[in-house]
Every structure is written in structure tokens, then in C-alpha cells.
């Protein structure tokens, strides 16, 4: 660890009442600037509703639902109680050749809010695992139907599908390619849909770019459809800066996939569970994929869990052969873990009781107006939004990409607001229980930080 303390970081530490501590060395933190963090640690101690409190008792407004997952807000009683009771009643149950009632109940409940036809559910423990599972289902599905040549997977530039080898391969983040090399072979990518020249400052879906979906025709012409298993995209790309699909783009992608017998997978790890105004973005945009990957909001981020929602006939294609044989050779020790299932059932009850799966639709116009009021602030080069997701993109500091946004993140944390930055975009995805006054508070704090960073 670098022991010399940067004066700017020292200032950031003082602003949050934090001082460089000892005892922080052992934990190699994920997706974190470890040396910076350990000089000015940001340690959370508890959470309730829309807020966190740090170890010094400072209140912090949660502008990103933890990490796009705490959709119902923190410490919700039904969820807390469900987890506590479950831990005492059935702490673990194997799910290979065994089952437990809550897993079946949860699968039924998920099917009931999923787009029509996606009524089979495979459980995993994270978004990354849900992605690997969906890709494997796609490969295995074609094989069981006698189309085993369909092995190529297609992702999209600027896509994020988690951190495992399949996910980083179909994903389109240069950082992964640079660091981890080839990963899975036999993958290709559609071009991304970001087109600031035509679409900057679009409110909601950008108007231009449905034709970016035609890039799939180019890849079909190159590889031949008989070799392509599936296309995976995020309906709204979150981790590469909140990229909202152009009007008509997803419809066109669906048409092309259907025409060529290619499976379409929507990665809804962040858009699932009400983020865009419907349970799933597939419903918001009116496009039904063949599989949906989800995680995070599935149980309000309380216990690790992911899932793949699968079209029934895909599932049914596996249900052949001798009945004593395993049909799909895949699963995790913790697939459908009892604590995760109990938390998910408590979460779905909370969503239903409070109308949270459609609340983002009700707040969308107010939220859009609030975030777009930042247009014209120094260095703001684009603003993007859908449902309760906002992306405010800033011009990078010359020669120092990401630093301006990271400085804003630190500044806002000191002022009592948690946001997330990706590149030089500040992303907002607050819990769906947010009130209008708290939207104003977030935008006011952000405006101040953007001005200070100029
Ligand atoms: C679209 C998408 N897919 C996959 C993942 C990976 O999820 P996890 O971090 O739970 O593995 C994420 C995480 O943010 C995501 O946004």
C-alpha cells in the first residue's frame, strides 16, 4: 500500500470525519481503488429506508439503491423478518435431486410477473452466474434439438454482463479485454447504440438508432445463422453509462433473431424489478426475449441471488430422454438457497403491497425533468434517463478520464449523498420508494458538486 497520503485525499477524509486507519490491509476490495479507499475509508454501518449511516453516524442519502439492488429501500420489515425466520427454520437445503417449498413458490411468483411465456426459472447466486447460466442454456438448447452447430454467442459493445468468463466475453468493456485477454472464443459483438451526435440530451428513449439492430444482419452474413446460438443485450446498458435503447431498436433486434432462429437474451440484472416502470424492461419496451437474466432487486439485494427466466418451450425441449437422467448439467450449491428465497418472497410481497414495480413509471416524468435541469451546468455533455435511472455525462478532465466523475463521487459522499460513477458518467438509480423531495435533494446536491468540479 502507498503510505504517502495525497493532500486532496486527506481533505476528502477529513470532510467525512474519516482518518486513514490501520487494519484495512487484508481485504482486497472488489472494483475499488484500494489505495485511495484505505487512505480515506468510507465505512457504512447501518441503513434504513432511503438512507445509510456511516460508522461516524453521518446520514447518507442513497442515490443508487446500494448498487442498483435495494429497490424497496433498506431494512424493510417483511424482508428482515422473512430472513430471520428462515435462518431458524431451514438454514440450508440441497437443491440437487432435492427441493424445498419456498423455491417452488418463488419460481411461480417470478413467472407470474415475467413477460408472458417466460415461466420457467433457473436459480443462481448473482447476476454474473445468471448470465453464465443463460449462455449455457442457449448452447445446450440448440444441441438437444439437433442444431449443435449453433455455438457462437453475440454480445454488444459497451455491454456489461458480470465478471465471469462467459460474461466478460459477450460483454463489450475494453477493460476486460485489456486485462484478461481472449476469455471465451467464438464470440462476436454488435455495435453499441450510443450516438451522442444525434441523441444527446434525449428525454427517455432516443429517437435515432433503431437501425443499429441491423448490425446483427451483418454478423449473420459473416458467420451464418446456423452457427449462432444467441444474442445477449442489456435493454438499458447501466454499467457503461446508462445507455437507453433507441425507439424501435429492441423490436428490430427481436425480429432479426426470430427470423434466423437465434435466441434473444435480455440481461435485466439492473432493469429487473421495477427500475423502468414495469416489473421488467421487456414489458416497458414491449419486446419479449427468449430468456431474461435477473438478480439484485430479486430480493432487494439482501441475500445473494440470481435467476434466469426461460421460455417454456426452451425448457420443454430438455425434457426428453430417460427420466432418471439429469436434463441440464448445471447448477450451484447455493441455487435457490432458502435464505435467498425467503428474502425474495418478502421482497415480492413488499413490491406488491406498495406498488413499487410500477412506481418508477409514475415518477419518471418528475425524475426526468429534475435530472435534465442539469443541462447547461459546467462540463455536462449529455443526460440520459428512463424510469428511475439517470446518467449525467461529464467532459473528462484533459488526459485524466474518470477523474472528474470520481471527484464528484467523493465530494457528494462528503455532502451526504451516495451516487455511482462509471467512466465520467454519474449514474443515479435510487430506491423506488423515493419521494419527489428526495429527487430534488439529489439533483441539488449533484448540481453543487458539478459546479465545484468545474
Ligand atoms: C447487466 C448486468 N449483468 C450482470 C451483472 C453482474 O451481476 P453481479 O455483480 O451480481 O454478478 C451486472 C452488475 O451490475 C449487470 O449490471
Cell digits of residue 41: 475509508
Ligand 1 pocket, 238 CB below 6 A? yes
Residue whose entry in the numeric block shows the C-alpha cell 467525512: 16
Residue whose CB lies within 8 A of the most ligand 1 atoms, among 167, 169, 295, 305, for a mutation test: 295
Cell digits of residue 189: 459483438
* Dihedral of the alpha carbons of 344, 347, 349, 354, in degrees to the nearest 10: -160
% pLDDT > 90, the chain: 93
- Does the structure show a pLDDT above 80 at 253? yes
345/103 Cα distance (integer angstroms) = 9
Ligand 1 pocket, 160 CB below 6 A? yes
Domain assignments of the chain as residue spans, ordered by start? 42-75+356-452, 77-354
CATH topology of domain 77-354: 3.40.640
Question: What is the CA(205)–ligand 1 centre distance, in A?
Answer: 22
Residue whose entry in the numeric block shows the C-alpha cell 455455438: 151
Question: What is the CA(295)–ligand 1 centre distance, in A?
Answer: 8
- CATH fold match for the domains 42-75+356-452 and 77-354: no
| Nearest in space to 239 (alpha carbons), one of 31, 46, 14 | 31
Confidence band of 3 (pLDDT split at 50, 70, 90)? very low
| Residue identifier of the C-alpha nearest atom 13 of ligand 1 | 162
What is the per-residue pLDDT for 426? 98
Ligand 1 pocket, 305 CB below 6 A? no
CATH topology of domain 42-75+356-452: 3.90.1150
Ligand 1 pocket, 126 CB below 6 A? yes
Backbone angles phi, psi at 340, to 5 degrees: -65, -40
| Nearest in space to 115 (alpha carbons), one of 248, 279, 314, 356 | 279
Give the ligand 1 atom nearest the CA of 164. Answer: 11
Ligand 1 pocket, 239 CB below 6 A? yes
pTM of the predicted protein model? 0.96
SS3 51: strand
Mean pLDDT over the full length of the chain: 95
Confidence band of 176 (pLDDT split at 50, 70, 90)? confident
Ligand 1 pocket, 266 CB below 6 A? no
Amino acid at each position: 500500500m502507498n503510505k504517502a497520503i495525497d493532500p486532496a485525499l486527506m481533505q476528502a477524509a477529513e470532510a467525512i470525519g474519516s482518518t486513514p486507519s490501520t487494519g484495512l490491509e487484508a481485504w482486497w476490495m472488489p472494483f475499488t481503488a484500494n489505495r485511495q479507499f484505505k487512505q480515506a475509508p468510507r465505512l457504512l454501518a447501518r441503513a434504513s429506508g432511503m438512507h445509510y449511516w456511516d460508522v461516524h453516524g453521518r446520514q447518507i442519502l442513497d442515490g443508487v439503491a446500494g448498487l442498483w439492488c435495494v429497490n424497496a429501500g433498506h431494512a424493510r420489515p417483511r424482508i428482515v423478518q422473512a430472513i430471520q425466520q428462515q435462518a431458524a427454520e431451514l438454514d440450508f437445503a440441497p437443491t440437487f435431486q432435492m427441493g424445498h417449498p419456498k423455491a417452488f413458490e418463488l419460481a411461480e411468483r417470478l413467472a407470474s410477473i415475467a413477460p408472458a411465456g417466460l415461466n420457467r426459472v433457473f436459480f443462481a447466486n448473482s447476476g454474473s452466474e445468471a448470465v453464465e447460466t443463460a449462455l449455457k442454456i442457449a448452447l445446450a438448447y440448440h444441441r438437444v434439438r439437433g442444431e449443435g452447430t449453433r455455438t457462437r454467442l453475440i454480445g454488444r459493445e459497451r455491454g456489461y454482463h458480470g465478471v465471469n468468463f462467459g460474461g466478460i466475453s459477450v460483454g463489450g468493456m475494453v477493460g476486460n479485454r485489456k486485462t484478461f485477454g481472449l476469455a471465451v472464443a467464438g464470440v462476436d459483438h454488435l455495435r453499441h447504440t450510443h450516438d451522442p451526435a444525434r441523441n444527446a440530451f434525449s428525454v427517455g428513449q432516443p429517437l435515432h438508432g433503431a437501425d443499429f439492430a441491423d448490425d446483427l444482419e451483418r454478423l449473420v452474413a459473416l458467420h451464418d445463422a446456423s452457427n449462432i446460438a444467441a444474442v445477449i443485450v442489456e435493454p438499458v446498458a447501466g454499467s457503461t453509462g446508462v445507455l437507453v435503447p433507441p425507439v424501435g431498436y429492441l423490436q428490430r433486434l427481436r425480429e432479426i433473431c426470430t427470423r434466423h432462429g437465434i435466441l434473444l437474451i435480455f440481461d435485466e440484472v439492473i432493469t429487473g424489478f421495477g427500475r423502468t416502470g414495469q416489473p421488467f424492461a421487456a414489458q416497458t419496451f414491449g419486446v419479449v426475449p427468449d430468456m431474461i437474466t435477473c438478480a439484485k432487486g430479486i430480493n432487494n439485494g439482501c441475500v445473494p441471488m440470481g435467476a434466469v427466466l426461460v421460455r417454456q418451450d426452451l425448457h420443454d425441449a430438455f425434457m426428453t430422454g430417460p427420466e432418471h437422467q439429469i436434463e441440464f448439467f448445471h447448477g450451484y450449491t447455493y441455487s435457490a438457497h432458502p435464505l435467498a428465497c425467503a428474502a425474495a418472497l418478502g421482497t415480492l410481497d413488499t413490491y406488491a403491497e406498495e406498488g413499487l414495480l410500477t412506481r418508477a413509471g409514475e415518477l419518471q416524468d418528475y425524475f426526468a425533468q429534475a435530472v435534465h435541469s442539469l443541462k447547461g451546468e459546467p462540463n455536462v455533455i449529455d443526460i440520459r434517463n428512463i424510469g428511475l435511472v439517470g446518467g449525467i455525462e461529464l467532459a473528462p478532465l484533459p488526459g485524466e478520464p474518470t477523474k472528474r466523475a470520481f471527484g464528484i463521487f467523493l465530494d457528494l459522499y462528503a455532502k451526504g449523498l451516495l451516487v455511482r460513477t462509471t467512466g465520467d458518467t454519474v449514474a443515479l438509480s435510487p430506491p423506488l420508494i423515493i419521494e419527489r423531495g428526495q429527487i430534488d435533494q439529489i439533483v441539488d446536491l449533484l448540481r453543487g458538486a458539478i459546479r465545484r468540479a468545474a
